[in-house]
Each structure stands twice: as structure tokens, then as C-alpha cells.
């Protein structure tokens, strides 16, 4: 796991290019504290930079950027390839030779033998740049689930790329702000892909690769092909398949030459991963957090799992004082504004301090098996969308924020459907808060975002929304950015490609239980997760942020905000009438970061 950056250009002098990429890498040092490297081609048109976090093959043989023996291809790679040993065996049978035990070298040889078809053979989380010295092409490639970030900025005759937005700004390659980002943040609570806070700095779509040819033109192509298979309708077969593929994913993702552990929150997903990992690794280390606020204390559920383990548990008390002390660092780590990630910042901080370099996380299970309220709420959309638009247009005249969100339903747009279910502010309020015309707000939300239309309002489409909107843009981005700010790698077994593909084949009638979220997942590992863990109301990995932010003078003082509309919002927040995420989004939009 690392951080990568690079520049392909025929417009700058050699020293300028080297300096720019070096500055980019320095800005990314936190994500790769163990080593650094720089490669530039003979004509200096291609320059790759790398910051290394050593997880597999900790020796100098893992140094990057890396090339094959004949220097046919160079790579700078961020991520983990979990099936690299299987691929390595296949490649050796084809005559490939290897100088290291790294997964990085396997990617190079896979490309040399299979070309761009090799990208779909990779199982893992990855973002890499690969330079073909024979054809002169440069490829930017991102994993099929979008776990690892990869951004690019293309202008005439030049393209730059990096793992974080801050690298472009640090090197002065892209500095103009995309003025639409406050609209997105106030609506979504995050910046939706492919956009960023910088103008024309975009994200490589998941499961795609960008090809930059030697003439300075580029294309973006999808490499991930979905296999056509029969639908699984037998519940016992489905349970057995879930059991098999998740166990396989956990075993694969425990491969590491550096200390590894598991985040244990006390919920179903982290508890299941912990217990499965403990079957393979008896000295398993777990990291847990607890609070003085009793309504957020999950120690009873954590202990129900820990009682089954023989490894070490590191438990940390997080108090309001800790939040106050570290808030500036948390905001600085974000890279782009978001209403999530505070919890990930703290758990990653403690994991690293406890000596771990990589951990397993339960992200993805809720999206796969119906763990969010939206899975039940989406059915109401089916009926509401049958009504004429006129009543929804009038919703903005009401003072109740929840009523105002009905205004989203006048839009025939998937983003509007998602925002009705999960959005922070209605367009009428966003317009007031940032002094923008409401029509321009609507255009930014519904014309500028290219999101496929839903064919139904059922749980399968709720899964699509949660996976491609909430998880993709918020959970995965914020987990990556916050963990890597501490030089920690987070692995997500529920997003294993083979497991995801298997679950997608299960018929919705048995994949989603009517009354109990994730029932099929629990039943697939019958008796493994203690009943006290799964037979309780869902909490999620939640901090007491409503209380902590209300007590934080910087966030809760209305005098820190500009405009009557903003001050009214903060007054409501201080009275406990709106959720902390709305106040936190407004706090960032008003220039406090």
C-alpha cells in the first residue's frame, strides 16, 4: 500500500518535471513513510513517483517505481493484489521470471504476457500507472470496486496523476477551484465522483483504465466484464456460497509480511470478520474504541466476540477532549471536504500506534445485504414518484427541512432519488446558504452528474444506490484518506471481487430478508457470531458527534457563520433539531477548513 504520482508531458523541461513529481510525492509522504522513488524516461516525457508503505516483501526488492529485467514496462503501484501468488504460478509456466516476492512485479509480468486483458485478472484493491516503453503508452488503472483512489489532470500534451488531490495543488499543476463543490457537499455530504474540489481534476472510474498514447491523446475504457451466470434461488446453496467465498476472501486478505489486525466495533460485520480471521490467525490483534457516553458504548458486544479469541485486543477510550484536540488534524487529513471519516481517523491512529500496518474492515456488508434504512424506505419512492410534480414543487415553501426534501421528487433523476433518501439539504436551502440561484443548484446536481436511471424502486436498486453513491464516494474515499494519513492500510474482504460477484447472483427474495437485515449473512455462519451481537438494533460505527460538535465553539457558534440562513441552521443545530452532519458540512463550506 502506497501513494503514487506522476507526470507525462512534452511541455516542460527535465528539471521542472522532476521537481514537480518530487513535490507531489512529498505531499503524499504520510501515506508512504517507508521509502520513496522516482523514475523518468530517457526523454523525460514520462516521470513516475512513489511513496512506499511496505506490507509485502519488506526488502529493497520491493522498491518502486519498478521495471522488468528488460525494462519493457515501468510501474508505480498503490494497493494489494490478493491473488498474486496464483497469477505468479501461471506466469512462471509461461516463462516469466521474477526477482522479488512482490505483487507489484506480478502486475508487470501479467501486462507483458496478457496486455490490458491482465487488468481484469487482478483480484484486490489497486491503483497504478504503467508505462509501456515499447509502445510509449501510459496506463492509469483502478480496481473494479474503486477501493483505491486515482485522480488525473489532462491538458494539451500533458497529463498528471496522483493518489490525493493535495498533490496537484502542492506542485502547482492544478490549482483552480471547481466552484460547484459546495453544492455537492451540502447536498450529498461528500464530493461525488468523478469530480473533485479542483477544476478538471477527475477520478478514474472504478473498473476502468485510462490510456495516454505518445501523441498526447487519451481514452478511458472499461476492463471489468461481468460474467453471465444463472440466478441462485436455493437458499441453502446461497448460504454455502457466501460461507465459502467470504472465508476465501478473509484468508487471502490476511497475507502480509507486516503486522495485521482487525477493526472490531461490536457490530455484525466486524465481529464476523474478526471471528473468521481468528480461525486462520490465532494470535490475531483487534482494535476497538469506546466512549464515556453510555448510549454509544459497544463494549458488551465487543467482549462477546473477544471471549471467543486468544489474541490481543487494543481498546481505546475516545473523549470529547480528544475530538477537540485533534479536529484541526482531522480536517487537514481530509484532502477534500466530507461529513464522514472522523471515526476512521481515530481508529487508524490507534491501530498504527499499537504497531499495526494493515487491518481488515467490515465495509461493504450493509450495501450487499440490506443493512441500511434506505432498503426499506425506497419502496415508498415507487408510489411517491407516481404523483404529479406540483405538490413537490410547493414543498420548498414549508419551514420543515424534511418536507423541503420532497422537492427532490419532482426531478426524474437518480441523484434526486438518492438525495431524497440520504441528502443533507434541499436545493432551496443550498441556494440560500451559498448565495446561488436555485436553478443553478439544480443544474449542478442533476445535469452535471451522469448517473444511470433506476429501473425499479426495490432493494436491489437500493443496493446499487448505497454501493455506487454512498459507499463509493464517502465510505471508501474517507476510509482510505484517513487511514493513509496515519500510514495504515485498510483491507475490505466484503468487497472481494469473487465474493461480490457471487452475492450479485443470489435472487433478491433470499438475499434480502423482509424483517432482519443481513439475515442470510448471519445464517451462512450459523452459531459463529454471538446472538447478542446480531439480535439488536443497528448502530453502525458511530461517535457521539452530535454532543461533541454542539460543545465545540468553532462549529456551534453562530457568529462564526455568514448570512442569516447559515445562522438559522446553527441555531437549529444547537437546539438539537438537525443532525450534526448538516452543521459540519456548513462549517466546511463557510471556509473553516
Active site residues: 2
360 within 8 A of 491, measured Cβ to Cβ:
yes
Q: How many CB atoms lie within 10 A of CB 134?
A: 10
Distance (Å, whole) CA 473 – CA 192: 5
Query: What would the DSSP string read from start to end of 33-76?
Result: BSEEEEEE-TTSSEEEEEEE---S--SGGG-SSEE-TT-SEEEE
Annotated binding residue at 159? no
What b/e string do you get for 201-239 counting C-beta neighbours within 10 Å, with b at 16 or more? Answer: bbbbbbbbbbbbeeebebeeeebbeeeeeeebeebeebb
Q: 3-state class of 94 per DSSP?
A: coil
Residue 193 is classified by DSSP as T
Annotated binding residue at 322? no
Residue 495 is classified by DSSP as G
- 194: cell is 468523478
CA 190 to chain centre: 11
- 584: cell is 459540519
Distance (Å, whole) CA 226 – CA 216: 31
Query: Count of residues for the chain?
Result: 593
29 within 8 A of 14, measured Cβ to Cβ:
no
Q: Which residues contact 135 (CB under 8 A, 6 or more apart)?
A: 213, 214
Among 9, 13, 70, 5, residue whose Cα is nearest residue 36: 5
- 195: cell is 469530480
3-state secondary structure 309-352: CCCEEEEEECCHHHHHHHHHHHHHHCCCCCCCCHHHHHHHHHHH
Angle at 132 (CA atoms; ends 129, 137), nearest 5 degrees: 80
- 23: cell is 513535490
Distance (Å, whole) CA 83 – CA 218: 29
82 within 8 A of 145, measured Cβ to Cβ:
no
Q: Exposure of 344 by Cβ count < 10 A (0-12 exposed, 13-18 middle, 19+ buried)?
A: buried
Among 422, 426, 425, residue whose Cα is nearest residue 410: 426
Backbone angles phi, psi at 135, to 5 degrees: -85, -20
Annotated binding residue at 160? no
If residue 16 lies in a helix (H) or strand (E), which one and from where to where? helix 14-27
- Cell match 460461507: residue? 243
Among 112, 20, 31, residue whose Cα is nearest residue 66: 112
Q: How far is CA 168 from CA 6, 196, 582, in A?
A: 10, 12, 29
Annotated binding residue at 234? no
Q: Which residues are annotated as a binding site?
A: 103, 289, 361-362
Annotated binding-site members for L-glutamine = 103
Binding-site annotation, residues for ATP: 289, 361-362
Amino acid at each position: 500500500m502506497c501513494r503514487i504520482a506522476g507526470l507525462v508531458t512534452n511541455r516542460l523541461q527535465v528539471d521542472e518535471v522532476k521537481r514537480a513529481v518530487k513535490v507531489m510525492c512529498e505531499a503524499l509522504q504520510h501515506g508512504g513513510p517507508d521509502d520513496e522513488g522516482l523514475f523518468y524516461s530517457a526523454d523525460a516525457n514520462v516521470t513516475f513517483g512513489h511513496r512506499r508503505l511496505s506490507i509485502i516483501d519488506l526488502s529493497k526488492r520491493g522498491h518502486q517505481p519498478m521495471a522488468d529485467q528488460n525494462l519493457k514496462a515501468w510501474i508505480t503501484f498503490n494497493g494489494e493484489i490478493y491473488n498474486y501468488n496464483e497469477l505468479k504460478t501461471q506466469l512462471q509456466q509461461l516463462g516469466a521470471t521474477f526477482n522479488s516476492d512482490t505483487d507489484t512485479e506480478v502486475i508487470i509480468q501479467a501486462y507483458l504476457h496478457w496486455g490490458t486483458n491482465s487488468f481484469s485478472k487482478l483480484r484486490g484493491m489497486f491503483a497504478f500507472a504503467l508505462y509501456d516503453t515499447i509502445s510509449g503508452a501510459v496506463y492509469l488503472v483502478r480496481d473494479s470496486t474503486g477501493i483505491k483512489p486515482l485522480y488525473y489532470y489532462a491538458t494539451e500534451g500533458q497529463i498528471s496523476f496522483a493518489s490525493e488531490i493535495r498533490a496537484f495543488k502542492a506542485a502547482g499543476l492544478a490549482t483552480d477551484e471547481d466552484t460547484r463543490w459546495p453544492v455537492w457537499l451540502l447536498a450529498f455530504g461528500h464530493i461525488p465522483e468523478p469530480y473533485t474540489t479542483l477544476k478538471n481534476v477527475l477520478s478514474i472510474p472504478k473498473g476502468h483504465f485510462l490510456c495516454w498514447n505518445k501523441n498526447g491523446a487519451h481514452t478511458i475504457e472499461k476492463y471489468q466484464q461481468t460474467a453471465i451466470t444463472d440466478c441462485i434461488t436455493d437458499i441453502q446453496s446461497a448460504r454455502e456460497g457466501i460461507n465459502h467465498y467470504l472465508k476465501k476472501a478473509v484468508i487471502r486478505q490476511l497475507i502480509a509480511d507486516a503486522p495485521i489486525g482487525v477493526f472490531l466495533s461490536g457490530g455484525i460485520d466486524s465481529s464476523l470478520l474478526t471471528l473468521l480471521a481468528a480461525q486462520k490467525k490465532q494470535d490475531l490483534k483487534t482494535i476497538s474504541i469506546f466512549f464515556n457516553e453510555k448510549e454509544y458504548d459497544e463494549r458488551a458486544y465487543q467482549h462477546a466476540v473477544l471471549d471467543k479469541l486468544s489474541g490481543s485486543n487494543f481498546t481505546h477510550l475516545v473523549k470529547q477532549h480528544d475530538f477537540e484536540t485533534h479536529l484541526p488534524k482531522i480536517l487537514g487529513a481530509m484532502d477534500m471536504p466530507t461529513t464522514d471519516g472522523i471515526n476512521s481517523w481515530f481508529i487508524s491512529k490507534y491501530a498504527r500506534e499499537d504497531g499495526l500496518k494493515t487491518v481488515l474492515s467490515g465495509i461493504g456488508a450493509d450495501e450487499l445485504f440490506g443493512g441500511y434504512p434506505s432498503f426499506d424506505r425506497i419502496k415508498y419512492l415507487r408510489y411517491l414518484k407516481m404523483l404529479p410534480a406540483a405538490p413537490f414543487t410547493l414543498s420548498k415553501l414549508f419551514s420543515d427541512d424534511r418536507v423541503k426534501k420532497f422537492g427532490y421528487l419532482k426531478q426524474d433523476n437518480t441523484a434526486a432519488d438518492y438525495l431524497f433518501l440520504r441528502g443533507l439539504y434541499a436545493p432551496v436551502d443550498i441556494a440560500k446558504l451559498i448565495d446561488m440561484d436555485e436553478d443553478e443548484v439544480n443544474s449542478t446536481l442533476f445535469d452535471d452528474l451522469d448517473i444511470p436511471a433506476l429501473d425499479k424502486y426495490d432493494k436491489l436498486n437500493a443496493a446499487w444506490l448505497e454501493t455506487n453513491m454512498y459507499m463509493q464516494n464517502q465510505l471508501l474515499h474517507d476510509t482510505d484518506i484517513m487511514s493513509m494519513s496515519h500510514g495504515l492500510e485498510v483491507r475490505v474482504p466484503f468487497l472481494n471481487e469473487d465474493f461480490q460477484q457471487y452475492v450479485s447472483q443470489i435472487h433478491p427474495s433470499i438475499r434480502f430478508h423482509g424483517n432482519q437485515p443481513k439475515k442470510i449473512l448471519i445464517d451462512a455462519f450459523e452459531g459463529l457470531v454471538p446472538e447478542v451481537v446480531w439480535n439488536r438494533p443497528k448502530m453502525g460505527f458511530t461517535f457521539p458527534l452530535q454532543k461533541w460538535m454542539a460543545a465545540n465553539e468553532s462549529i456551534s457558534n453562530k457568529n462564526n457563520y455568514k448570512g442569516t440562513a447559515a445562522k438559522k441552521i446553527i441555531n437549529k443545530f444547537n437546539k438539537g433539531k438537525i443532525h450534526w452532519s448538516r452543521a459540519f458540512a456548513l462549517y466546511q463550506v463557510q471556509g473553516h477548513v
